[in-house]
Structure 1
Amino acid sequence: MPRINNNMSNVQQHLFRSPRSLLILLGLLLTASRRISISGTSIPTETDASDSNHGTSNERRHHHPANYTTSIHPSLDTLITLDTFSVHMFGHVANNSNATGGTLQPISNSQNSYYGSDVHGDFEETSTDWNTPSWPQDGNVYFQTSIKRYKNLTKFDNKDFVVVIFIQRYPGGVLDCVPTDKTENDEAIPGSFDTDDNDGSNDDSHYYDYAHDGNTVGTDKTASIRSTFPALNFGTMRYFSYHGGFLEQHAAGQFPSSTTDGTTLKDGMEAGPLLLFEHRNNNYTSTTTNETTNHWCGIVSHYNEFMTQSTQHVAGSSTVKHGPMDSICPIPAGYEANTILVLHRRSSIQAAVGTWGTMLLDEYIGATQRRTHDVDYTTRYLGYSTDNGAYYYYKKEDDWPVTSNMEETMIAVHNYSQAANIPYRYWLLDSWWYYKSSGQVKGVTNWTARPDVFPHGLHYLYRQTGMFVQAHNRMWSTDNAYAKDYDFVPSKSTTVSLPTEYRFWKDLLQTAIDWGLVVYEQDWLNVQFEYQSQAFTNSTLMRQWLMEMGRAAQDCHVAVQYCMPLARHILQSVEIPAVTQVRASGDYQAGLWLQQWSVGITSLLYTALDLKPSKDNAWSMTIQPNNGERNTTEPFPEFQALILAMSAGPVAFSDKIGHSNTTLIHRTCRQDGVLLHPAQPLIPIHEWFYERTNPSSRITGHVQESKMKVNGLPSYPIVLSLELSTDFVLFPNHISGFHEQAEMWVVYDPSLSTILQEFHNDSPLLLPKSKSMTLGEYQLHFVAPVVHGWCLLGERHKFVPLSANRFVSVETNSLSMKLLLEGSTGETVEFAYAVMGNDDYKSQWCIQSKVVKIPSSGRIQVTIEKYPQLLNSETI
């Protein structure tokens, strides 16, 4: 098969280098019996304070005798401890690091302290070199551990924090290696799962596969760890863990290892970041008062080598271990496996996770750079989807108008949307359009349009409609059409293969741009990893695959969406700016009351990593005739549309031709299809996470927060609640970052017609118990600042009334309010505002609406005088 022809020249070829022949694997099992002290105000050192001048990050300042110091920080010594560690050498235990008698010994005069600064701030790092009496006496360091403690962080003024990086190094690598408890480390053993057939049958559902229901599709070879540092014993702290595909599965409870819902704290391939909460005696009740917590909360995760590291929970204990997979072989010289622990006190879990995300992004993308969101068309404009759950998923239109293939169906969708004034600007083309192999895995063989699907090709569709494309792709088959011309690594045990060179990705994406590609969707990430046998043995292969894909996408100005990711894929994306969005839950399925809508739980992590969460698609009308075997309905289309809008990510509907609720769809966007997003997606409040960890909690349901932000005004919190089993009293300190100044804060309803109450410590917001546990019975409240007597309520008939894509800026003084609005030419915008009464109208509000039309320039400035409006209006 000829190589991809995109007329590109002088593209440097990046060849995959096969690993050296298998050489031994040393294993280390670090655990611990020492206290990790963690303090928020200062980081004491083992030297006099007068020696604490800061140097560069690699400048050695202090030298200590050989005695392993495990102190990290002196104030959390009752919360977290560091266990002893042992070494597995040649398959045999080589004893442990206990300073009083272990045979794994620190090398004489090897413990050193460094002071320095880096992109994050000032730090102290203490390192120790280790070997055993049987190790060759040639001076080579067998193993090194370091504890890097930050004394301050450049981007944060919160002094009650702890940020620690645990580092384990193999200075000389490990060339001869065997797994410590495996005999076959080069085989991936597939289970069974269904994908789709080339005949168009629809069985390619994420809802029924491993990534959604948590059943593994193969043997988990990542649960065993070669060398453990750190092994953190969390005592009686509470935890909330993320695991599985999309990170939508969770385990919550209190150490040692009890869970509140019968789930298991996962380890190995499925494991993800772990949220931590210091146990407190006062659980939430409906009479909770406003009190500032002194307790710690935080997060622990891998900090590098995301594709080769793993996590292991010691069953029945409070110990969680981190380190490289036991099966990785060889380990290259200089290999490091790092873990980050972030804790905040007198702050929220959102703030702690935000610090964690900033650390990762600054480390890899850069302190002044972030992801390439400017090229992601799909997070800025309204879209149409054909993903699983969509009406036209593996289904052409057979009713009206009758079509003979998907090409005609998609053109008919476009024509209908134009006639109905639905401003779709792109569509998602799922897996039904390209060639796939037969057999169990059904990997892609040729990523081009099949003639029975698009007889005239995707270029023709693009020319006919002008619609941009988010194009789906899956794992690659070993018999793909590109392997003759580009470097692929076939799995040793399955029929999947992995492209490893930049040139392939550059050619593939550059060709697709010609037919409208703006977002490349890499789906089935978990399957590609688990079915690629070398993923468990090669220290660089899986990272190389994602890095080359991302580098080519960035050079082609194409955004990347990750779908069906494991935690390792999401964390790896911090090195790949082109990855702008990640699916945050499983596939949409109308009529099934799943938690698929609840993307806010994963949005906590995604937002911290500068990733947009994708909820997938939704129907805008309850009834979509002849929609398949289930012939289902969507009972809550308004709620689905609300969640799409509040996700701050892609918004895509998937209705049958002639069965779209145009009014509902328009509530998510401007007339030109520009999405009206909040400044932050919905995320559960801190108290929700803590209560999930409480075995005796009386609360079920959801309380989530978002924010709207317009230049010139403080942030506007948004509060969504539903399925509450008891009343919830919301105080200002329940809202993350609620510290901006205003004359007062008020609560108003989504209709923008009523100021419900003031909002402060003496006037909290009561979120009443839900009458029925359905998605349709949700409550939405907006919290607004009052500035100079003005309270801007926002645009009427929109889910997000104050979006920066509508309100460019606002200026207020005691007499007037000046607004700059933008939109499409001729678009009508109706917005509402409230004015506090003067001496004659104290404690009363005047709510007014104003209608403006956007001129051809796309922007309009509006000035409103306060008292003429007040005197001529009815007070409310």
Structure 2
Amino acid sequence: MAVLQRSLVLLVTFIHLSHGKLSFAKQKLHITMYTDGMYSIGVNQDTWLTSADTYIYASGTKQTGGQGLKLVETNGVSGVDKLGNWNGLTFQYLVPSINVSFHATIKVYENFVVFAQNFKTQVQGTTSGEFDSVISSFPSFGVGSGNTSLGYVSFGGNMVGDTHMKWGRFKSPDATLNYGIIGGPLVLFDSGSDAIIIAPFSQFMAASLYHDVTGNSVHWGVMGGVNTVPENYVYETILFYSPDGVNRAFSEWGRLIKFYYDKDESYRKSDLTINYLGYWTDNGAFYYYNTETNTTYERTMIDVRKYTVVEKIPYRYFQFDSWFYPKDEYGGVTTWVAMEGIFPDGLRYVWNALDLPIAAHNRYWSSQTTYAIQNGGKFKFLLEPPKAIPVDQTFWDSFHQDAKQWGLIMYEQDWLDVEFGMNITRSDIYLGREWLLQMGAGARKNDLTIQYCMSLPRHAMQSLEIPVVTQARVSGDYQPGNDQWRIGISSMFADALGLAPFKDTFWTTTNQTGNKYGKSEPNIVLQSAVATLSTGPVGPSDKIGATDLNLLMRCCNQDGLILKPSRPATAIDKQLHRLAFDDGVGPAGEIWTTYTEISGYYFGIILAADLSEMYPLTPQDTGFQFGTPKIFSYNEGHLEAMNFSEQYPLKLQDCPKEAPCVWYTSSIFQVGTNEILIYGEVNKWVTMSPQRVQEILVSDDLEIHLQGSPGELVNFAFSVNGDSIQDIYCSIGNDGTAILRFNSKNCS
């Protein structure tokens, strides 16, 4: 090995973003680089990863260090950019026989590293011959080349990498990573609290990783089907470190990349379909390709609306699925309009009759689409029968403008993985990105938001550049009684990208006669709780007359505003450890946690389901260690608070899917000589929600500033000095607010 050119020891930990600035508290991550192009990653004096081959494809041949690719110079580099100061090395490679220049740069920041590939010259003949390979490799690491006791989670497949997610030990031959077109971020972690995320940092739609099983190595680069790379094309990969576990790694990594791509929360916070209850008709719904007997969809939807008005179910929008528009014999969309037999009076008439806005679903485009110039339409499409893809910004501008005329507020783009499965999208280095950017620009121009469905990790990451993409499905299709509610891991990834995780629709009652599936839903409580705690859309799909209003209203206020936690509920780190290490350490089932932050006070939520054995949950396990809280649950009108500490863990057991365990934590508020515990709205899934509680003030009294629907009656529960429960009722004022004062037991 060459003489050490530079060895950098980084002091790293979480990033805290405040007023657009970065600040750091420090822990140790080690990056060592050598003049011969090798490098390694270490954590706390322990080597985790050592480099494998750097290579590119050019003129139809794989150019490696020993065959064609020559390292001609290594330079120390430094700079400053939006993310701060960085130092590192650039390895300058050359393929002399065809005069191809390729630079590989390692940029070292405080607690993360960016690996950059720069094609200094245009390169042709780059295709590897396999879509699921890569045409360029940097960084690359040996699998199990360092610490062989690491665990991993590998995202892959659609629904933001949920459907093919894998986990295990990061060593050969145990590791079976997702790679290629379906691949996503790779997360590595030890049995303690150190974790690393490795993922694309730019050119998301063209990026891939490749797991070379024979060579026991994993490589990041441009996807394998690309045949030409333009001059000065740059692709980057980020390696992000956290000393405090996988959940915190995702949270802080997400904060960093959203800052870098200027993706704020404004569209997500204002999206009506995320914030209010909606009625859904997608796969799993009672009225999915199914109507009331001997009538049309038009009549059925209007009858659903009449039922909900009579029963005072506060739906604020309707979702129409793929049943409303025409498709070709392969299932591709020909024209995005309502079929006459579905809505005889047209979409605009139905919108007016419902008197609610619309969210609507779309599939991939058929090569027979009437919008394409080749088929007599007005817009540019690339056709690859039986599919097509638009390549015309004016198409999306016009398309979304037309849909606004019949009440559309949210456009659901489904079948994203199928659309991207075209040869032209997987071989053109720019086409995938341009497709999604144009779609997003058209929606933004027309004040619409977008939900991604069946999105591969690359689609989800591309949404960082598309602010109107506010939400994404993170599970497979709902069917009554199935297990697609298990979204505790995929929600971490989606939320980090600024996407509200959507678990899909659900039923609120077990038996709904006449359903097309011939099934029942035994887990109605779990479905309701998961949907609410996801922070994504809450969209039931019951038959007329079959809604459990009491269960449904646990999610929201009187107006249908969803009462959410501050972040999605996600699987605890110990759950990931058990999956990866299979050593019995961690819960045998699902344990997710989240919290609400109000006025600097934290209120925790714990959801446990499908546990096959008792698990002693500690505050450290939860990830929200806010003082020494009390913990309580609400079951059949019974409330009882207990101590919760490392010495007094919560012993979770008897938490089946049909009767999940939901526990809450609250700090003790000292008011005068009294210790007050706030239970909150115990008839809601989120007992203390920022959508309900604006502010908490503590002085000689405890004031809770509330908001809601004018005239809405709100019940808050408390205990004083550990004594019996005290209920205080508040009526929300005409201005939508009220102030609850504990000592005087009144509201104003």
TM-score by length of 1: 0.77
Shift of 1:848: 0.7
Counterpart of 2:686, as a letter, is V
> For residue 722 of structure 1, what is the aligned residue in structure 2?
609
What is the rounded CA distance, in whole Å, between the counterparts of 1:148 and 1:604 in structure 2?
26
Equivalence map 1:165-176=2 (5 Å): 165-174=114-123, 176=124
Counterpart of 2:180, as a letter, is G
> For residue 190 of structure 1, what is the aligned residue in structure 2?
none
> For residue 630 of structure 2, what is the aligned residue in structure 1?
746
Shift of 1:561: 0.2
> For residue 48 of structure 2, what is the aligned residue in structure 1?
79
Shift of 1:713: 4.4
String of CA shifts for 1:11-35, please: whole Å, max 9, x gaps: xxxxxxxxxxxxxxxxxxxxx9999
What is the rounded CA distance, in whole Å, between the counterparts of 2:216 and 2:6 in structure 1?
14
Counterpart of 2:677, as a letter, is C
Q: Is the partner of 1:717 in helix, strand or coil?
A: strand
What is the rounded CA distance, in whole Å, between the counterparts of 1:471 and 1:668 in structure 2?
23
Contact 2:41 2:47 in 1 (8 A): no
Instruction: Pick one of 539, 544, 550 that aligns with 2:440.
Output: 550
Shift of 1:95: 4.3
Root mean square deviation, CA, Å: 2.6
> For residue 381 of structure 1, what is the aligned residue in structure 2?
276
Shift of 1:103: 5.8
Shift of 1:464: 1.4
Rate the CA distance shift 1:33–1:551 in 2: closer, same or farther, 3 A.
farther
Contact 1:86 1:95 in 2 (8 A): yes
Equivalent pairs counted in the alignment come to 711
Contact 2:40 2:47 in 1 (8 A): no
What is the rounded CA distance, in whole Å, between the counterparts of 1:122 and 1:476 in structure 2?
45
Instruction: Pick one of 371, 393, 414 that aligns with 1:482.
Output: 371
String of CA shifts for 1:249-268, please: whole Å, max 9, x gaps: 32111122455xxx942211
Rate the CA distance shift 1:42–1:764 in 2: closer, same or farther, 3 A.
closer
Instruction: Pick one of 126, 130, 142 that aligns with 2:89.
Output: 126
Contact 2:629 2:665 in 1 (8 A): yes
Contact 1:36 1:80 in 2 (8 A): no
Q: Is the partner of 2:93 in helix, strand or coil?
A: strand
1:855 aligns with 2:733: yes
Shift of 1:607: 1.1
> For residue 526 of structure 1, what is the aligned residue in structure 2?
417
> For residue 651 of structure 2, what is the aligned residue in structure 1?
766
Rate the CA distance shift 1:600–1:748 in 2: closer, same or farther, 3 A.
same
Shift of 1:352: 1.0
Counterpart of 2:139, as a letter, is P
Contact 1:38 1:72 in 2 (8 A): no
Rate the CA distance shift 1:674–1:817 in 2: closer, same or farther, 3 A.
same
> For residue 288 of structure 1, what is the aligned residue in structure 2?
none
String of CA shifts for 1:729-784, please: whole Å, max 9, x gaps: 1122112242x44xx310011257533311222222221365xxx41132111011
> For residue 267 of structure 1, what is the aligned residue in structure 2?
179
Contact 2:181 2:223 in 1 (8 A): no
Contact 1:36 1:73 in 2 (8 A): no
Larger Rg computed on CA atoms: 1
Shift of 1:179: 2.9
Rate the CA distance shift 1:534–1:660 in 2: closer, same or farther, 3 A.
same
Equivalence map 1:304-319=2 (5 Å): 304-315=202-213, 318-319=216-217
Equivalence map 1:284-433=2 (5 Å): 293=192, 295-315=193-213, 318-345=216-243, 347-365=244-262, 369-370=264-265, 372-398=267-293, 404-433=295-324
What is the rounded CA distance, in whole Å, between the counterparts of 2:460 and 2:7 in structure 1?
30
String of CA shifts for 1:57-83, please: whole Å, max 9, x gaps: xxxxxxx99754636678555211112
Contact 2:372 2:379 in 1 (8 A): yes
> For residue 540 of structure 1, what is the aligned residue in structure 2?
430
Rate the CA distance shift 1:524–1:847 in 2: closer, same or farther, 3 A.
same
Q: Percent same amino acid among aligned pairs?
A: 31
Shift of 1:579: 0.3
Counterpart of 2:464, as a letter, is V
Instruction: Pick one of 749, 755, 763 that aligns with 2:640.
Output: 755
String of CA shifts for 1:154-191, please: whole Å, max 9, x gaps: xxxxxxxx3011111101221x31534x2xxxxxxxxx
Contact 2:135 2:223 in 1 (8 A): yes
Rate the CA distance shift 1:856–1:95 in 2: closer, same or farther, 3 A.
closer
Q: Is the partner of 1:322 in helix, strand or coil?
A: strand
> For residue 77 of structure 2, what is the aligned residue in structure 1?
114
> For residue 473 of structure 1, what is the aligned residue in structure 2?
362
What is the rounded CA distance, in whole Å, between the counterparts of 2:341 and 2:466 in structure 1?
36
Shift of 1:416: 0.5
> For residue 586 of structure 1, what is the aligned residue in structure 2?
476
TM-score by length of 2: 0.90
Contact 1:584 1:613 in 2 (8 A): yes
Contact 1:793 1:831 in 2 (8 A): yes
What is the rounded CA distance, in whole Å, between the counterparts of 2:653 and 2:11 in structure 1?
40
String of CA shifts for 1:488-529, please: whole Å, max 9, x gaps: 33343x311111222111111112112111100000001101
Rate the CA distance shift 1:88–1:822 in 2: closer, same or farther, 3 A.
closer
String of CA shifts for 1:505-554, please: whole Å, max 9, x gaps: 11111121121111000000011011x22012111111101001111211
Counterpart of 2:736, as a letter, is G
> For residue 142 of structure 1, what is the aligned residue in structure 2?
101
Q: Is the partner of 1:320 in helix, strand or coil?
A: strand
Rate the CA distance shift 1:544–1:33 in 2: closer, same or farther, 3 A.
farther
Contact 2:194 2:242 in 1 (8 A): yes
Rate the CA distance shift 1:776–1:39 in 2: closer, same or farther, 3 A.
farther
1:462 aligns with 2:351: yes
Contact 1:645 1:677 in 2 (8 A): yes
Q: Which moved more, 1:815-824 or 1:389-398?
A: 815-824
> For residue 28 of structure 2, what is the aligned residue in structure 1?
none
1:254 aligns with 2:169: yes
> For residue 864 of structure 1, what is the aligned residue in structure 2?
742
What is the rounded CA distance, in whole Å, between the counterparts of 1:572 and 1:94 in structure 2?
29
What is the rounded CA distance, in whole Å, between the counterparts of 2:180 and 2:63 in structure 1?
24
Rate the CA distance shift 1:65–1:808 in 2: closer, same or farther, 3 A.
closer
What is the rounded CA distance, in whole Å, between the counterparts of 2:445 and 2:200 in structure 1?
28
What is the rounded CA distance, in whole Å, between the counterparts of 1:337 and 1:586 in structure 2?
31
> For residue 164 of structure 1, what is the aligned residue in structure 2?
113
Rate the CA distance shift 1:487–1:112 in 2: closer, same or farther, 3 A.
farther
Shift of 1:42: 6.6
What is the rounded CA distance, in whole Å, between the counterparts of 2:654 and 2:607 in structure 1?
13
What is the rounded CA distance, in whole Å, between the counterparts of 1:609 and 1:33 in structure 2?
41
Counterpart of 1:362, as a letter, is F
What is the rounded CA distance, in whole Å, between the counterparts of 1:65 and 1:723 in structure 2?
49
Equivalence map 1:424-463=2 (5 Å): 424-438=315-329, 440=330, 442-463=331-352
1:91 aligns with 2:60: yes
1:671 aligns with 2:558: yes
Shift of 1:94: 4.3
Contact 1:375 1:559 in 2 (8 A): no
What is the rounded CA distance, in whole Å, between the counterparts of 2:35 and 2:574 in structure 1?
45
Using CA pairs below 8 Å that are at least 6 residues apart, which structure has the higher relative contact order? 1
Counterpart of 2:456, as a letter, is L
Shift of 1:470: 0.7
What is the rounded CA distance, in whole Å, between the counterparts of 1:313 and 1:37 in structure 2?
28
Q: Is the partner of 1:130 in helix, strand or coil?
A: strand
1:41 aligns with 2:11: yes
Q: Which moved more, 1:64-73 or 1:250-259?
A: 64-73
1:497 aligns with 2:384: no
What is the rounded CA distance, in whole Å, between the counterparts of 2:499 and 2:549 in structure 1?
29
String of CA shifts for 1:258-290, please: whole Å, max 9, x gaps: 55xxx9422111211111112x4xxxxxxxxxx
Q: Is the partner of 1:449 in helix, strand or coil?
A: coil
